[in-house]
A = this chain, B = another copy of it.
Amino acid sequence: MSKVTCDMAMSLDGFVAGLNQRLDQPFGDGVGDVLHQWMFEEPEAHKEVIEAITAAGAYVMGRNMFSPGRGAWDLDWTGWWGEEPPYHGPVFVLTHHEREPVVKRGGTTFTFVTDGLDAAMSRAREAAGGRDIAIAGGAATVNQCLAAGLIDELRVHVAPVVLGAGERLFDGVGRLTLEPLAVSGTGLVTHLTYRVVR
């Protein structure tokens, strides 16, 4: 059976994005690439971690992760992922607005699901064919999945920064018991992998 994974880059004080996320500041005010610097500056050092993020058989993401900000959602906008997104597989985007699937190069197809998280998970499970399903963000979608007990393995990539404001991972999730599976890191990030205990 598919395992459900989730990778999130987080500040030490629990923020995964700043306030006012928008197209020209996708991670919001004052965040820039500080949470993801390790990916861009040390790709070799984090090769396995980075590859694992896009190793799933299917993905579920929130509408803001496909295209941030209120103004960005129209029929001409096909997301900020470029011509060849890193997923190379089916991505199910949670939204209230129906639209045709967006097919990209390299096997990534964004399919828009308007009947809720459970429906998206079912479609992802079917599409994954026994491979893992990854919850691809953003925070609201991940928190909804955590609260619903849908995530098996949570991989938190802690950037060495305290942000003080923004969008929090775990907001409204309630209490969770975790089991540490692995820990590693460099000067730019600490990778913490947990099993979510039911």
Chain A positions within 8 Å of B, measured between CB atoms, are: 12-14, 30, 146, 156, 158, 160-164, 168-170, 172-180, 183-187, 190, 192, 194
**Is the pair A160, B185 in contact by a Cβ cutoff of 8 Å?**
no
User: How many monomers of this protein are in the complex?
Assistant: 2
Return chain B residues, CB-CB under 8 Å to A146. 162
User: Known contacts being A185-B180, A187-B179, A187-B180, is A170 close to B160, with CB within 8 Å?
Assistant: no
Q: In the complex the two chains form, what is the Cα distance from A175 to B166 in whole Å?
A: 11
**Is the pair A178, B192 in contact by a Cβ cutoff of 8 Å?**
no
Q: In the complex the two chains form, what is the Cα distance from A164 to B174 in whole Å?
A: 5
**Is the pair A160, B187 in contact by a Cβ cutoff of 8 Å?**
no
Return chain B residues, CB-CB under 8 Å to A30. 175
Q: In the complex the two chains form, what is the Cα distance from A183 to B182 in whole Å?
A: 11
